[in-house]
A and B are shown apart, each in its own frame.
Chain A
Amino acid sequence: MADRVILTIGTKKGVFVADAAKPRRNFALRGPFGPGVPVYSTLVDTRGTPRIYASSCNPFFGMKILRSTDMGKTFKETKSAPAFPKDDGRALANIWSLEPGAGKKDLWCGVEPASLFRSPDGGDSWEMVPGISNHEHARKWSPGNGGLCMHTIVRDGNRVHLGISTGGHYLSEDGGETFTASNKGVGAGFAPDPYPEFGQCVHKIARHDDAPGRLYMQNHGGWAEWTGPGGPRPGIGVLRSDDYGRSWRSIASGLPSDFGFPIVVHPHDADTVYVVPLEPQTRSCPGAAPAVWRSENGGGSWNRIARGLPKKESYFTVLRDALDIDQLKSPALYMGTTTGQLWIGREGGEKWECLFDSLPPINNVKVAVV
């Protein structure tokens, strides 16, 4: 089969799948699957026979995992969804992240309240990972506006990085058995102590295989003007680590705002990284003029890329999982908005074009070439 670009679009009203041949001229849309139910996480699993997973987060009847084995033509519920042990006292409130594990059918799943689950069989059975779910800090984390969510799972061999809002960044170096809060240099604006051990509102973390040890983080910024206890905290929103996440430094200089949600790395260049700066109050782009900002030197400087995007009067938010980039030679970015538009940024974001303009509010966009 010729390579196809597959997009999964998790929305407030179900998951959509769009696909196109490699030139990406025309995307055909299917869905919604799990209609009417919010989807916060999707995964195009390209190991072996490709599968698509989506979390179906039903506020009435509980959480489900949907799985497609025919590239998004049909979806079925897996045999079970993550669930806390009966005597734990916590109840699953949302499913925020799905990532492939080490084994062919291993899946990792981050949930709300912030906890981690693993499945050895493609989502049919699940076990809670106690090293983080029962971490001594776990009962001290507190929810942000989106709930107490484990939204980011970044695997790098035996290292596992987790992003928790609000809990901070946790690092495992033994394959997920044990975890340590690893937030040196990660600021918090909503506590008197600007640099606590844990409790930061991390928004997203990204890495690239070609730059071992380097990580990029979009943290909850927007605290440059704070004059209360602890003083102002400029630039805490966009960060970089060069020591596997043990310490972090700001790379926000040159951005119009250090607040935002997603952060994405170019598939072929570990120095090229993308963010979507937002005004912290409105959570829309500065001046109501949407733009993605790109650094080509690892965060040393930033450039605005917005050709084709609206120039004014646009107040949408781009949520933490609503920006992704494909793996093709000249990769395209895909950006979903809370106003239901799906944008493609061709040539690494140089030229933007709206693929779909009236979807439900978009939580999540993932892309794969299969």
Chain B
Amino acid sequence: MAHWSDNVLLQPPGHGDKLTRTVGSAPTITMHLPGPLRPYCAGASELSISAPTVRAALEDLERTQPALYCNVCDETGKVRRHLNVFVNADNVRDLEGIDTMLKPGDVLTVLPAVSGG
């Protein structure tokens, strides 16, 4: 597993690995990424992020993984219209949006909305 500490990559990740960052005392959560987003974070399938809210997790992403962040949020900072963000099994739309609080061990999942055609 590659390990990040204060934005310093200690070990390069391999494809499908998990990237871990630790910042302050905020709860550490796991962000799970779908396949199309993995090329934008060195192939990692999961990121470990310390953040008290979804918003803080996205802000952390903007600082540390700007290429990945651009795929998740647009220039105005909004989560892209056709993406859904889940905390564990719940869509944040049904919680407190991106101000939803996070607990240690939560799993944040970014998924494209269902589509066809």
Contact = CB atoms under 8 A, between A and B. Distances in A.
Interface stretch (B15-23, B47-55, B75-83): B75-83
Contact of A88 (B72, B75, B81): B75
Contacts of B112: 60-61
A23 B113 CA distance: 46
Contact of B71 (A62, A85, A88, A90): A62
Contact of B75 (A59, A60, A85): A85
B76 A62 contact: no
A60 B76 contact: no
Contact of A86 (B75, B82, B113): B75
B37 interface: yes
A84 B82 contact: no
Contacts of A85: 75
Contacts of A92: 74-75
Nearest to A12: B117
Contacts of B115: 59-60
- Main SS at interface, chain B: loop
A62 B70 contact: yes
Given A61-B37, A61-B71, A89 B80 contact: no
Contacts of B37: 61
A59 B114 CA distance: 12
A211 interface: no
A133 B85 CA distance: 32
B36 interface: yes
Contacts of A59: 81-82, 115
Contacts of B36: 60-61
Contact of A90 (B75, B81, B82, B113): B75
Of the four ranges (under 10, 10 to 19, 20 to 34, 35 or more), the interface on chain A belongs to 10 to 19
Interface residues of B, number: 17
A83 interface: yes
B78 A60 contact: no
B49 to A, nearest CB: 19
A138 interface: no
Contacts of B74: 62, 91-92
Contacts of B81: 59
Nearest to B70: A62
Contacts of B82: 59-60
Contacts of A91: 74-76, 78
A157 B81 CA distance: 39
A76 B78 CA distance: 26
Interface string B15-47: 000000000000000000000110000000000
Contacts of B72: 61
A88 to B, nearest CB: 7
Most buried by B among A60, A85, A86: A60
Most buried by B among A62, A89, A90, A92: A62
Interface string A293-335: 0000000000000000000000000000000000000000000
Interface of A: 59-62, 83-86, 88-92
25 contacts: A59-B81, A59-B82, A59-B115, A60-B36, A60-B82, A60-B83, A60-B113, A61-B36, A61-B72, A61-B80, A61-B83, A62-B80, A83-B70, A83-B75, A84-B75, A86-B75, A86-B76, A86-B77, A88-B75, A89-B76, A90-B75, A90-B76, A91-B76, A91-B78, A92-B74
What are the 10 closest A-B residue pairs judged by CB atoms, nearest first? Answer: A91-B74, A61-B71, A60-B112, A84-B75, A60-B82, A83-B75, A91-B75, A91-B76, A59-B82, A62-B71
Given A86-B75, A92-B75, 11 more contacts: A60-B82, A60-B112, A60-B115, A61-B36, A61-B80, A62-B70, A62-B80, A84-B75, A89-B76, A91-B75, A92-B74
